[in-house]
Structure 1
Amino acid sequence: MKKITSLLACLILAAAALGPRAFAAETKNELAPDAKSAILIERDTGTVLYSKNSHEELPPASMTKIMTMLLIMEALDKGEIKMNEKVRASEYAASMGGSQIFLEPGEEMTVEQMLKGIAIGSANDAAVAMAERIAGSEEAFVDRMNERAKALGLKNTHFENVTGLPVKGHYSSAYDMAMMAKELLKHEEITEFTGKYEDYLREGTDKKFWLVNTNKLVRYYPGVDGLKTGFTSEAKFCLTATAKKNGMRVIAVIFGAPSTKERNAQVSKMLDYAYSQYTSHPLYKKGAVLAEAKVSKGDVRHIRAVTSEPVSVLTKKGVKLSNIKKTVKLNGHLQAPLEKGQPVGTLSVSQGGKMLAKTTLVAEKSVKRASWWQLFKRAAGMFAQND
């Protein structure tokens, strides 16, 4: 009896010590009770704050367009397309059903207008038109989507189209969708589109078209500025949302909610939890110069290594940061040509041997291969110094 009493006492003391954590876990389990799967992450560090069946393969519906938009933004960065460039809608693109901006075959809109249609109105026709412009066909663009998913290390995603319209073999997971959203948000300007509640297309004509954001939280939840909703009868109500408050950006994903109301309520609850329990400590903005790397056979000898995304450290509220160690490691033997944005190293942030954040450093500018004359002059200069 004494042993049992002692054991109970120990259990009570242990429960008291772990009480807050146990309560937090119990609270988190109720964040998305009606969703098939869900995840909540802090964007900069990728820290998972809540997870429910987050690796289950499910139909993503129009949340597919997060990857579509990512490839569009990357094409813009590479100069493959420009915002003011006009894109022509093919007969196939104009034939897309579901959400659309009612493109007519042969109709032209700028990349910016197409992006508005995709980001705000979830336009299937605009998504296909952009896919055809960038890759030549929807099929070729889908191949790029799957290659990009693989490059991101996503193991539970496979795309069959750029729209999310129902088709066998088209699936993703809450975790994978959060990682796609994390990557898309490296392009901070995307929220200028996804964060708008309403806009217009074909202004100044008798076909003026009113765009209303399918993500109502951009209007009703302070700080929400994206990213993408989804609905089909198979997928039910889905949402990948992002919000930024007090310098902290989080991403919340819901798959398979029974209604719009439940979807929005549960995402709101996840966001409330993140902002009530955690604090972000910003360290660097995107593009911060952290080192200078040597480049072999380039038209310049050095390139500045910059942050590819905002860098911050996440803690529970009330926890102070101290003795933070920042380590920059540059890739060995960088050789021209280098593209702007190409990885050239890493930044690691740790505390007491524990990794808090890790991010890629990229080339600030492109570096062309040096001409034979530049290489000759350098070699001559080296010989002169050795004399």
Structure 2
Amino acid sequence: MKKKLVALWLLLSLVAGILPPAAHADVLKEGLPEVAGASYVVMDGDSHEVLFGKKYDQTFDPQSLVQMMTAVLIIEKGNLKDTVTAPEMPAAINSGNTVFLRKNEEFKLSRLLEAILVYNANDAAYAAAVHIGGSEEKFLAMMNARAKELGMNSTEFKSVYGGAKGQKSTAHDMALLAAKASSLKKYVEYTLKPTMNWNGEMFAHDNIPNANGFQQIMEDGIGLKLSNEKGSKEDKLHLAASYTHGGRTVIAVVAGAESEAGLYVDIENLLTFGMENTKSMKLISKDTPLATLTLAGDQKLRVAAQKDVSVTTVSSNSLRPDVATVLNKIDLPIKKGDVVGEAKVGEGSKATGVPLVALDDVKKPFDWWKCLAIVLLLALLALVIIRLYALSRRRPNPPSQPKRPKQGQKRRPPTRALKSAQPAQPSLPHNPSQGSDRGRRGLEDRVRKEQNRRTTYTIHREYPGDDR
């Protein structure tokens, strides 16, 4: 049983790898114009919804259309004022248009971008790529990473300027890239130039015509990039173009055409048909509040979509898809820009989600009860510390222990405090006045004797020299 399940799983995996990816839900399916190309697609430039097309998930080598991605990265990652020193050029550069850059020749990055978008110059694309990426390999990694960010899931770049073995893309993926290119002001400015001048060491020429002539065919049309590759049997042309009218942009990509004149006519018809028979309805505007919430402490929080949301439908349709908002559990504090939910457009499996973000900063409310509890706890802790300190002060100090002599040192006898030598106080004589009569008489006798002994005589001399 397990072997059968494994075999069935392998079979399903093999079939999934062989079958083409699931088709997109086209807005228009009837009355489509005829196109002389292997595959094509018409896409809304804002919502990226497919309006209509044919085999637009079929892979092909985009050839010079890859220069759209090179130019987009130059604008996004580079500084157009930089001075670029031309590196050694690979031999394959000469397979297409070049401005014959010489090694170590210097040009501004803006001039190289002009040569890419006006003249499809392979060497200008290579020099700019090496300058920004450090090497062609590193810049290719940047190209493929950016392709994934744009949703170009069937694209793999192998060259920064033209065709390469193993390189692939689809009309749908190239339309996504064209939509990005058409949104860049500097890209559109250069690609609309009818001519350019070039003054290099090996190549100098004035009024070099734009390699893409679509601007001369359709008013308000922009030829974003033309790839005209010479084949051994027949030429294969690919063209990406855009058309802007009434604030709306439509993108068209045709791959595998055989005639340049016929390609221009087909692209014009595709863009016109897509613009006239479809319309774009903006459902959600970025930064426009969808809801206002009342949070703790009567604080207000406005929420809005992270980006504009539009849907494309046939011109005759007046129904608007449903928009539902789903909010996450909100924990304070919240900073402006935080994702707080999702807006869902449509119903069921076809619904698309857009993140909802906060438009305001909301602080966590002050918790007075928690603050009071902390204060009481600190006060209790302070009282405990004071009590312990008071108890430690009441305890008698333990008697100091005599220091033990170090090893090899003799113990000294304890020093005794010497009494201070003070004169002996004579004992008081017995007070005879408090004795018997005999004692008093003896005392009186001694007093008289002392008086008699101390009797002195004064001699008066009448004459000098009298020795008496």
Distance in structure 1 (CA, Å) of the matches to 2:59 and 2:50:
18
- For 2:257, the equivalent position in structure 1 comes to 257
Conserved 8 A contact 1:66-1:181: yes
Amino acid at match of 2:129: A
- For 2:82, the equivalent position in structure 1 comes to 85
Distance 1:64 1:305, change over 3 A: farther
- For 1:244, the equivalent position in structure 2 comes to 244
Q: Is residue 192 from structure 1 mapped to residue 189 from structure 2 by the alignment?
A: yes
Distance 1:328 1:269, change over 3 A: farther
- For 2:312, the equivalent position in structure 1 comes to 314
Range with greater deviation from structure 2 (105-114 or 128-137): 105-114
Distance in structure 1 (CA, Å) of the matches to 2:304 and 2:326:
10
Deviation at 1:281, TM superposition (A): 3.8
Conserved 8 A contact 1:247-1:280: no
- Listed one character per residue, the Cα deviations across residues 102-154 of structure 1 (whole Å, up to 9, x for unaligned) are 32322222222221111121111111111101111112211222233234443
Conserved 8 A contact 1:65-1:127: yes
- For 1:27, the equivalent position in structure 2 comes to 31
Question: Cα RMSD (Å) of the superposition?
Answer: 4.1
Conserved 8 A contact 1:218-1:226: yes
Conserved 8 A contact 1:120-1:193: yes
Conserved 8 A contact 1:89-1:107: yes
Distance 1:136 1:359, change over 3 A: farther
Amino acid at match of 1:265: V
Distance in structure 2 (CA, Å) of the matches to 1:278 and 1:360:
27
Deviation at 1:322, TM superposition (A): 5.0
Distance in structure 2 (CA, Å) of the matches to 1:171 and 1:265:
26
Conserved 8 A contact 2:223-2:239: no
Distance 1:50 1:170, change over 3 A: same
- For 2:6, the equivalent position in structure 1 comes to none
Deviation at 1:282, TM superposition (A): 5.0
- Listed one character per residue, the Cα deviations across residues 219-271 of structure 1 (whole Å, up to 9, x for unaligned) are 22122123111021347011011111112211111111011012111111111
Deviation at 1:212, TM superposition (A): 2.6
- For 1:99, the equivalent position in structure 2 comes to 97
Range with greater deviation from structure 2 (173-182 or 353-362): 353-362
Distance in structure 2 (CA, Å) of the matches to 1:275 and 1:56:
24
Conserved 8 A contact 1:313-1:357: no
Distance 1:343 1:191, change over 3 A: farther
Conserved 8 A contact 1:114-1:127: yes
Amino acid at match of 1:196: K
Q: Tell me the SS of whatever aligns to 1:83.
A: coil
Deviation at 1:383, TM superposition (A): 10
| Residue of structure 1 aligned with 2:155, choices 157, 176, 188 | 157
Amino acid at match of 1:61: Q
Larger relative contact order (Cα-Cα within 8 Å, sequence gap ≥ 6)? 1
Amino acid at match of 2:53: S
Q: Tell me the SS of whatever aligns to 1:118.
A: helix
Question: What TM-score results when the alignment is normalised by the length of structure 1?
Answer: 0.69
Distance in structure 2 (CA, Å) of the matches to 1:87 and 1:264:
35
- For 1:144, the equivalent position in structure 2 comes to 142
Question: What TM-score results when the alignment is normalised by the length of structure 2?
Answer: 0.58
Structure ID, larger Rg: 2
Conserved 8 A contact 1:348-1:355: no
- Structure that is richer in strand per residue: 1
- For 1:120, the equivalent position in structure 2 comes to 118
Distance in structure 1 (CA, Å) of the matches to 2:283 and 2:104:
48
Amino acid at match of 2:178: A
Deviation at 1:38, TM superposition (A): 0.8
Distance 1:95 1:323, change over 3 A: closer
Distance 1:87 1:232, change over 3 A: same
Distance in structure 1 (CA, Å) of the matches to 2:236 and 2:345:
41
Distance in structure 2 (CA, Å) of the matches to 1:163 and 1:344:
40
| Residue of structure 1 aligned with 2:215, choices 215, 218, 221 | 218
- For 2:277, the equivalent position in structure 1 comes to 277
- For 2:166, the equivalent position in structure 1 comes to 169
- For 2:412, the equivalent position in structure 1 comes to none
Q: Is residue 350 from structure 1 mapped to residue 345 from structure 2 by the alignment?
A: yes
- For 1:132, the equivalent position in structure 2 comes to 130
Distance in structure 1 (CA, Å) of the matches to 2:368 and 2:210:
66
Distance in structure 2 (CA, Å) of the matches to 1:343 and 1:186:
27
Distance 1:318 1:26, change over 3 A: closer
Distance in structure 1 (CA, Å) of the matches to 2:140 and 2:219:
34
Distance in structure 2 (CA, Å) of the matches to 1:57 and 1:318:
34
Distance in structure 2 (CA, Å) of the matches to 1:269 and 1:65:
25
- Listed one character per residue, the Cα deviations across residues 73-99 of structure 1 (whole Å, up to 9, x for unaligned) are 331xxxxx3221222211227982211
Distance in structure 2 (CA, Å) of the matches to 1:123 and 1:385:
73
Q: What does 1:10-49 correspond to in 2, within 5 Å?
A: 25-28=29-32, 30-32=33-35, 34-49=36-51
Conserved 8 A contact 1:94-1:105: no
Conserved 8 A contact 1:44-1:311: no
Q: Tell me the SS of whatever aligns to 1:274.
A: helix
Give identity over the alignment, percent: 29
- For 2:4, the equivalent position in structure 1 comes to none
Distance 1:362 1:262, change over 3 A: farther
- For 2:268, the equivalent position in structure 1 comes to 268
Amino acid at match of 1:31: E
Distance in structure 1 (CA, Å) of the matches to 2:356 and 2:188:
23
Amino acid at match of 1:289: D
Conserved 8 A contact 1:117-1:211: no
Distance in structure 1 (CA, Å) of the matches to 2:128 and 2:350:
40
Distance in structure 2 (CA, Å) of the matches to 1:126 and 1:360:
40
